Chains A and B, each alone.
Chain A
């Protein structure tokens, strides 16, 4: 039972990171109709920053967080400018944007691994220290709890933003019908930039909470990016709650796979999960939209 609970809590923590990436995909997609493949590598750029800030320069956690936000949002804006805007500005034909964002993620990953160099992967201290808290009789690392809390807060904040504010409504409307949005005085390009700023913020938070969990491994950006997609597909495209549930589901499924089947083949858990979900319920668990139109 203890083993099960430990695995469950670890799954919820890692799942929270997948959920955060899925949320940032959704923010971008809502406003641009573009799926930004580079989101996982943007997060890894944040992990690299936190390695330098905390392990090399010994900066305080709060300063580290600010630096991560600044760097990730800046790269995110560069990406919007060079890899996304050309496709937002003209009618989208085919999946050219997919190639462009994948190319950008390759550039981030290569630059990150050059900067990181041959350094061995080192653990990064968590914001709440390396302590544990006792929950239901098992010790849960505070870094796990932080990841979960951050994801829930981000989801609630985004939900309120989309439902309660004019800007939020506008940001959802643009991807659905750019022309109508333009007629109502909404500038698609500004909205696209704003979406990348918000997605960058979410990704920076994800980087901040994931760094102590994955240590300073900058090569797993694509892996995390793809797992974020699986969270999204499982939860249901376009649903914020779906992202969260999908992320947690994937995280827990991986840990259970480790515990009961084999930790060597953990990656299969994600593959099996996404194939089953698509076969049984293509729109995802909470999918409301006609995904085929996506």
Chain B
């Protein structure tokens, strides 16, 4: 374990302990706030109000910062959770305690989140943001008129006879701070679990996520559900500490304040949203004389951050930390080529692996076998039968038949626009077939959802590599391993014994595959900092990590150096030797001919040729279409 830590650059770096300094200071400050800023019961109540909002910020960060689900109107969920808790307390004969309020808030919040999320997710994107914002507007508006929840004046618990909170004063403050820390710790554990890996993969690219078997809708819903439960619990805590809830406690403006805090602090970092929210809510709560103009201040801040610093203050701090060698790596980068440039200097100052370990980019002398694990029970071939697909008036794939046998390399060649990638996307179920069938043996794939393709044992790469740019090379491969080394989400998040074992197993296997491809030196570097060829190799490693029965490679050799090209060739052969069926789309025809058992040549969506490389060399049609000559390839070369 320490050896791995060393290779990841986690150990040894003299000042890396400093990265714990900020959280540690924050924790201490949180606990002693009453000593610093006065501990009258009114003041404590105000602090506790802000603290319960921090839990909503943590919840929103899980859904939005990591899961990419913009449930901006999460304050609606907070409000229904709070109303649930306060009504239960009011009508229960003896009143209820903090724990019961949190449970009721969480359950009611979950229901609220699902009512918003289930329909809105069917469209996705900003629909969820707007539908949830509308809910955040509607809930207080309805509550203002509704006698049951106290209408405009709300429900005060302190007026309910015979009800007294059993915890109060500084004791309650300490408990609430601890709950905030617990929520934060939970978000850390979640993000660094298989569930969090799935969130980030899906946030990065739905196609990427689908290609490693992640169920998109279910994962998005889970992100919303977790956030909603936490927001509902925050509602319970709010009610217990404030002994009061009214429509004004959760206006739609409050949702925008939360968003401002998140954006300014840094979405997608663990403590960024906490820092941002403390700044924003602090200004809003304690500088009330200025309140009329707050909207302008917050609006300008939010706009400036969205445009100039979309990753927030924490991203800045992280970059600073990298410069000073405090942090071992540079996460928090936006995607895109400019981000890669920005990351390059940061990556170059990352501490090299400890002396003694291999630091060169040389792959293992002989590649280990990668026998299929997923779909290995079957022995059937991957069969494309009469596939047809049109876009508008263009038939991109026209009645194509193709059989990919296990243990064989099948080359797919053809000019640009001949339908190669479309065929691949049809197999991956990113497009639906107009006609025809796709099956493994006798099991049909074309009527199953896209994520089941990977789960049936078909891995793929993309023409332009799709990687999680903020994550390291290692973290990019781990989610693929996690599709086949199974344990439940809670086991992984809560680090139960099986969760720990499986988390470690996934990490070790990912490490092994990356190392065998000669990527030891980039394990702990963010993908954004990697050159193009290396990104391709990391993506290849991710596809192999599924341990599939079939692998579809979309131009894996494009833009590679000669050394890398040799390695890809060797990888394809090794996969075939291990019993994997390899579908190889390539423009590098000599490479294809040197390793393919069968070659299919597409032209304008149709099959122009199908046969062995030797037959292709002596075929006249292919030569005449591509070279305009009437002799076979063999004679012309």
Whether A267 lies near B138 (C-beta < 8 A) is yes
From A147-155, A163-171, A272-280, the one touching the partner chain is: A272-280
Assess whether B376 is interfacial by the CB under 8 Å rule.
no
Whether A114 lies near B303 (C-beta < 8 A) is no
Assess whether B4 is interfacial by the CB under 8 Å rule.
no
Measured CA separation A253–B300 after assembly (Å): 37
Q: Which residues of A contact B296 (CB under 8 A)?
A: 107, 110-111
Whether A226 lies near B302 (C-beta < 8 A) is no
Whether B299 lies near A229 (C-beta < 8 A) is no
Q: How far is the CB of B410 from chain A (nearest CB, A)?
A: 31
Assess whether B624 is interfacial by the CB under 8 Å rule.
no
Q: Which residues of A contact B252 (CB under 8 A)?
A: 222
Assess whether A130 is interfacial by the CB under 8 Å rule.
no
From A65-73, A87-95, A119-127, A188-196, the one touching the partner chain is: A87-95
> Of A99, A107, A264, A294, which contacts B306 at CB under 8 A?
A99
* Known A99-B263, A110-B295, A229-B134; contact A278-B302, beta-carbon cutoff 8 A: no
Whether B295 lies near A107 (C-beta < 8 A) is yes
Assess whether A43 is interfacial by the CB under 8 Å rule.
no
Measured CA separation A268–B302 after assembly (Å): 30
Assess whether A52 is interfacial by the CB under 8 Å rule.
no
Assess whether A282 is interfacial by the CB under 8 Å rule.
yes
Assess whether B130 is interfacial by the CB under 8 Å rule.
yes
Q: How far is the CB of B306 from chain A (nearest CB, A)?
A: 4
Assess whether A197 is interfacial by the CB under 8 Å rule.
no
Assess whether B14 is interfacial by the CB under 8 Å rule.
no
Interface 1/0s, chain A 106-117, versus B by CB < 8 A? 110111011000
Q: How far is the CB of B204 from chain A (nearest CB, A)?
A: 10
Q: Which residues of B contact A160 (CB under 8 A)?
A: none
Q: Which residues of A contact B302 (CB under 8 A)?
A: 99-100, 102-103, 106
From B118-126, B273-281, B531-539, B579-587, the one touching the partner chain is: B118-126
Q: Which residues of A contact B335 (CB under 8 A)?
A: 93
Interface 1/0s, chain A 256-277, versus B by CB < 8 A? 0000000011011011001110
Whether B134 lies near A226 (C-beta < 8 A) is yes
Q: How far is the CB of B142 from chain A (nearest CB, A)?
A: 5
Assess whether B256 is interfacial by the CB under 8 Å rule.
yes
* Known A98-B70, A233-B127, A278-B120; contact A109-B307, beta-carbon cutoff 8 A: no
Whether B122 lies near A278 (C-beta < 8 A) is yes
Q: Which residue of the partner chain A has the closest CB to B73?
A: A226
Q: Which residue of the partner chain A has the closest CB to B141?
A: A267
Measured CA separation A226–B135 after assembly (Å): 10
* Known A100-B303, A107-B300; contact A267-B142, beta-carbon cutoff 8 A: yes
Q: Which of A187-215 contact B (CB under 8 A)?
A: none
Assess whether A292 is interfacial by the CB under 8 Å rule.
yes
Whether A271 lies near B138 (C-beta < 8 A) is yes
Measured CA separation A292–B299 after assembly (Å): 29
Interface 1/0s, chain B 250-273, versus A by CB < 8 A? 001100100110010000000000
Q: How far is the CB of B118 from chain A (nearest CB, A)?
A: 7
Whether A96 lies near B293 (C-beta < 8 A) is no
Q: How far is the CB of B51 from chain A (nearest CB, A)?
A: 25
Q: Which residue of the partner chain B has the closest CB to A278?
A: B119
Q: Which of B455-506 contact A (CB under 8 A)?
A: none
Q: How far is the CB of B198 from chain A (nearest CB, A)?
A: 18
Assess whether A104 is interfacial by the CB under 8 Å rule.
yes
Whether B115 lies near A282 (C-beta < 8 A) is no
Q: How far is the CB of B517 from chain A (nearest CB, A)?
A: 28
Measured CA separation A236–B260 after assembly (Å): 30
Whether A94 lies near B68 (C-beta < 8 A) is yes
Q: Which residues of A contact B122 (CB under 8 A)?
A: 278-279, 282
Whether A267 lies near B123 (C-beta < 8 A) is no
* Residue from B70, B131, B137, B306 whose CB has the most chain A CB atoms within 10 Å: B306
Whether B306 lies near A222 (C-beta < 8 A) is no
* Known A99-B263, A114-B292; contact A35-B299, beta-carbon cutoff 8 A: no
Measured CA separation A267–B335 after assembly (Å): 39
> Of A82, A94, A226, which contacts B137 at CB under 8 A?
A226
> Of A82, A90, A227, A291, which contacts B303 at CB under 8 A?
A82
Q: How far is the CB of A268 from chain B (nearest CB, A)?
A: 6
Whether B120 lies near A109 (C-beta < 8 A) is no
Please classify the interface of chain B as helix (H, G, I), strand (E, B), loop, or mixed, using the class held by over half of its residues.
helix
* Known A107-B296, A229-B130, A291-B123; contact A264-B334, beta-carbon cutoff 8 A: no
Q: Which residues of A contact B31 (CB under 8 A)?
A: none
> Of B115, B146, B294, B310, which contacts A275 at CB under 8 A?
B115
Q: How far is the CB of B200 from chain A (nearest CB, A)?
A: 13
Q: Which of B534-577 contact A (CB under 8 A)?
A: none
Q: Which residue of the partner chain B has the closest CB to A228?
A: B130
Q: Which residues of B contact A100 (CB under 8 A)?
A: 302-303, 306-307
Measured CA separation A282–B303 after assembly (Å): 31
Q: How far is the CB of A154 from chain B (nearest CB, A)?
A: 22
Measured CA separation A291–B126 after assembly (Å): 11
* Known A98-B70, A110-B299; contact A222-B123, beta-carbon cutoff 8 A: no
Q: How far is the CB of A234 from chain B (nearest CB, A)?
A: 12
Whether A294 lies near B303 (C-beta < 8 A) is no
Whether A82 lies near B307 (C-beta < 8 A) is yes
Whether A223 lies near B137 (C-beta < 8 A) is yes
Q: Which residues of A contact B123 (CB under 8 A)?
A: 233, 278, 282-283, 291-292, 294
Whether B125 lies near A230 (C-beta < 8 A) is no
Interface 1/0s, chain B 66-80, versus A by CB < 8 A? 001010100000000
Q: How far is the CB of B96 from chain A (nearest CB, A)?
A: 28
Assess whether B145 is interfacial by the CB under 8 Å rule.
yes
Q: Which residue of the partner chain B has the closest CB to A106?
A: B299
Q: Which of B267-325 contact A (CB under 8 A)?
A: 292-296, 298-300, 302-303, 306-307, 310
Q: Which residue of the partner chain A has the closest CB to B307?
A: A86
* Known A110-B299, A226-B133; contact A93-B70, beta-carbon cutoff 8 A: no
Whether A93 lies near B334 (C-beta < 8 A) is yes
Q: Which residues of B contact A109 (CB under 8 A)?
A: 295
Q: Which residue of the partner chain A has the closest CB to B263?
A: A99
* Known A82-B307, A278-B122, A278-B123; contact A93-B336, beta-carbon cutoff 8 A: yes
Q: Which residues of B contact A243 (CB under 8 A)?
A: none
Assess whether B129 is interfacial by the CB under 8 Å rule.
yes
Measured CA separation A99–B141 after assembly (Å): 24
Measured CA separation A294–B126 after assembly (Å): 9
Whether A91 lies near B336 (C-beta < 8 A) is yes
Q: Which residues of A contact B131 (CB under 8 A)?
A: 233, 274-275, 278
Measured CA separation A265–B293 after assembly (Å): 31
Q: How far is the CB of A48 from chain B (nearest CB, A)?
A: 15
Q: How far is the CB of A54 from chain B (nearest CB, A)?
A: 26
The 8 nearest A-B residue pairs measured at CB: A110-B295, A107-B299, A103-B302, A278-B119, A264-B145, A106-B299, A103-B303, A282-B122
Task: Give 18 new A-B contacts, CB below 8 A, not counting A99-B302, A111-B296.
Answer: A82-B307, A86-B307, A91-B336, A95-B129, A96-B306, A102-B72, A106-B256, A107-B300, A110-B294, A110-B296, A114-B292, A264-B145, A265-B145, A270-B138, A275-B115, A275-B131, A292-B124, A294-B123
**Residue contacts A-B, CB under 8 angstroms, 13 given:** A93-B334, A96-B306, A96-B307, A100-B303, A102-B302, A106-B253, A106-B298, A107-B303, A110-B293, A264-B142, A278-B122, A282-B119, A291-B123
